[in-house]
Amino acid sequence: MNDDELDRVFKALGDPTRRRIIDRLRERPKQSLFEICALSFADDGAPLSRQAVTQHLDMLQKAGLVRVEWSGRTKLHTLDPGPLREAFGLWLRNHL
Amino acid sequence: MRIYVSSVFVDDQSKALDFYTRLLGFRVKNDVPVGEHRWLTVVSPEDPDGTELLLEPSDHPAVKPYKAALVEDGIPATSFQVDDIDSEYDRLVSLGVSFAREPMDAGPVRMAVLDDTCGNLVQLIQMKGA
């Protein structure tokens, strides 16, 4: 992981909604956009617009934190904690 | 003013008729030839005079990309209410219906999402405590 990739991980983490999406995907992998929006509203009472979630998922995906797979013609999102571990090993660990 | 009909775009009206009646359990209310297609509506046997569901042909050029985009994001084209979603799920799975999401809790409801084989996802909802 180079500096740019590390930047993308920390930028992806630097937003409360994206951290919420990460928390949700850890609890339940393989969610469609519809499920991410419906479940976050059901559980937190805070509605997330689909456009906003789409953009957040895009940033998470570019940081390697979310993987996309297809189930038939539906796109499903799953958390990949790999880049978090790498960010920990590369930098965070030095200060803990 | 009343809502007497709501619609889903189906890839094939005959296939849709089979799915929505034989599998989901709705009944035909209107089946009228209109050109090469039909004005084809179904109702719930629990509410035969209630709102009809129009099984509408998908051949307008805007429909295909619209449906594909909804399915890509997992968004149901319509939603039906059931009293016991878990037994309904078991019944439909035993009939070969494919579910994109098995029943799960979502706040005040329990929901599941199935594939209608006509290009749509369909949500089932059970109100909890009902």
- Distance, in Å, from the CA atom of A74 to the CA atom of B54, rounded to the nearest integer, reads 24
Residue with tokens 């070969």: B96
Mean pLDDT calculated for residue range A16-40: 93
Nearest CA in chain A to B109: A42
Predicted local distance difference test score (pLDDT) of residue A44: 75
- Distance, in Å, from the CA atom of B118 to the CA atom of B39, rounded to the nearest integer, reads 17
Locate the domains of chain A by residue range. 3-95
List the 107-126 stretch of B: residues with Cβ below 8 A of A: 107-109, 111, 113, 115, 121
Mean pLDDT calculated for residue range A55-62: 97
pLDDT reading at A52 higher than 70: yes
Mean pLDDT calculated for residue range A5-17: 96
Between B42 and A44, name the one with better pLDDT.
B42
For the A3-95 domain, the top CATH level (class) is: mainly alpha
Delineate the domains of chain B, giving CATH numbers in brackets. Answer: 1-58 (3.10.180.10), 67-130 (3.10.180.10)
Question: Which value does ipTM take for this structure?
Answer: 0.87
Interchain contact, A38 vs B111, CB within 8 Å: yes
- Distance, in Å, from the CA atom of A40 to the CA atom of B75, rounded to the nearest integer, reads 15
Q: How many CB pairs under 8 A join A and B?
A: 46
Mean pLDDT over all residues of chain B? 97
Between A40 and B90, name the one with better pLDDT.
B90
Of B68, B106, B107, the CB nearest to A73: B68
Contacts with A33 from chain B: Cβ below 8 Å = 73-75
Q: B103 falls in which pLDDT band (50, 70, 90)?
A: very high
